[in-house]
Homo-oligomer: A and B are copies of this chain.
Amino acid sequence: MLRGAELRVTRPRMAVLSAVHDHPHADTDSIIHVVRENLGEVSHQAVYDVLHALTDAGLVRRIQPMGSVARYEARVGDNHHHAVCRSCGAVADVDCAVGAMPCLTASDHHGFTIDEAEVIYWGLCPDCSSAHQS
């Protein structure tokens, strides 16, 4: 598969990687459960280690909106952003509206060397939005 990242191929790693692919924006706990459904007992520490390794290798991306635990997604390298529901915490992908790397226009402010702009759109997901109206 993807051992091009100098990573050993182990059962837990394959399971975690496919779990992240199949469940975008899942938190660590959900991933642990999915992995255990496929492999039987796996230590939570192993899952944490693997997620760290995959994140460092750039195979998954870690996101963590305020008030949420860490979540992971497999869509990397395309600088997309996220919409987060204030009510239920649901996360959806949002493509850059302006094009590639649009938000880096505020570069070099205060002497900072900016290399990435992370955007989080806060609001209500469709379900919570209609629930609030009623």
Contact = CB atoms under 8 A, between A and B. Distances in A.
A55 to B, nearest CB: 11
Interface in A92-115: 92-98, 103-107, 109-115
A118 interface: yes
Contacts of A97: 105-106
A112 B126 CA distance: 6
Given A64-B66, A103-B103, A121 B98 contact: no
A116 interface: yes
Interface string A117-134: 111111111100100000
Interface of A: 62-64, 66, 81, 83, 85, 92-98, 103-107, 109-126, 129
